[in-house]
């Protein structure tokens, strides 16, 4: 999930609309959530999100887990076609350290809106 997803949920609950999480911030003085449109060029947003996925895997790999644990990583990514999903999976697979992969029986990534999934 994007680190600003909590702001997205709060903004939607309070105001009924918001742009994507990358454009959200909280005003330090008023505590209001600002929502600004953000544009991406090429696959920049996919590369950024791959960093979030890898960070979550790293956090989970640092903890002890029972043998044969499957790690499930839920991705709420605003992808629009299968090529973007495949790019995300390829980036994460390529950058995933072997020691993190070895901590789990498998690492399952899924996107629940469009029902995409893969095992790393």
Instruction: Provide the pLDDT for residue 19.
Output: 79
Instruction: Provide the pLDDT for residue 77.
Output: 65
Structural domains in the chain (count): 2
Instruction: Provide the pLDDT for residue 13.
Output: 85
Instruction: Provide the pLDDT for residue 79.
Output: 60
Indicate whether 67 and 89 sit together in one domain: yes
The residue length of the chain stands at: 120
Indicate whether 108 and 50 sit together in one domain: yes
Of 81, 77, 87, the C-alpha closest to 112 is: 77
Going by the DSSP 8-state scheme, the letter that residue 17 receives in this structure is: -
Indicate whether 29 and 52 sit together in one domain: no
Residues 6+ apart with CB under 8 A from 5: 21, 76
User: Which tokens belong to 60?
Assistant: 């989970």
- Does this model's pTM top 0.85? My answer is no
Tell me the pLDDT tens digit for each residue of 53-103: 999 999 999 999 898 999 998 887 666 688 888 999 999 999 999 998 889
Distance CA 62, CA 34 (A): 34
Indicate whether 9 and 58 sit together in one domain: no
Indicate whether 68 and 110 sit together in one domain: yes
pLDDT band at 39 (very low <50, low <70, confident <90, very high): confident
Instruction: Provide the pLDDT for residue 93.
Output: 94
Indicate whether 49 and 28 sit together in one domain: no
User: Cβ of 101: how many Cβ atoms within 10 Å?
Assistant: 15
User: Which tokens belong to 64?
Assistant: 């002890």
What mean pLDDT value characterizes the chain? 85
87 alpha carbon, distance to own chain's centre = 14
Indicate whether 18 and 58 sit together in one domain: no
Indicate whether 65 and 87 sit together in one domain: yes
Indicate whether 64 and 113 sit together in one domain: yes
83 alpha carbon, distance to own chain's centre = 17
Indicate whether 54 and 71 sit together in one domain: yes
Residue 22 domain boundaries? 5-35
């Amino acid at each position: 999930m994007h680190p600003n997803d909590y702001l997205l949920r709060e903004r939607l609950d309070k105001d009924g609309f918001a742009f994507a999480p990358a454009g959200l911030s909280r005003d330090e003085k008023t505590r209001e959530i600002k929502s600004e449109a953000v544009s991406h060029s090429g696959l920049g947003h996919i590369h950024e999100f791959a960093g979030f996925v890898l960070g979550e895997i790293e956090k989970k790999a640092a903890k002890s887990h029972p043998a044969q644990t499957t790690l499930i990583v839920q991705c709420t990514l605003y992808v629009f076609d299968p090529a973007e999903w495949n790019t995300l999976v390829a980036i994460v697979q390529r950058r995933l350290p072997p020691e993190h992969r070895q901590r789990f029986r498998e690492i399952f990534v899924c996107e629940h809106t469009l029902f995409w999934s893969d095992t790393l």
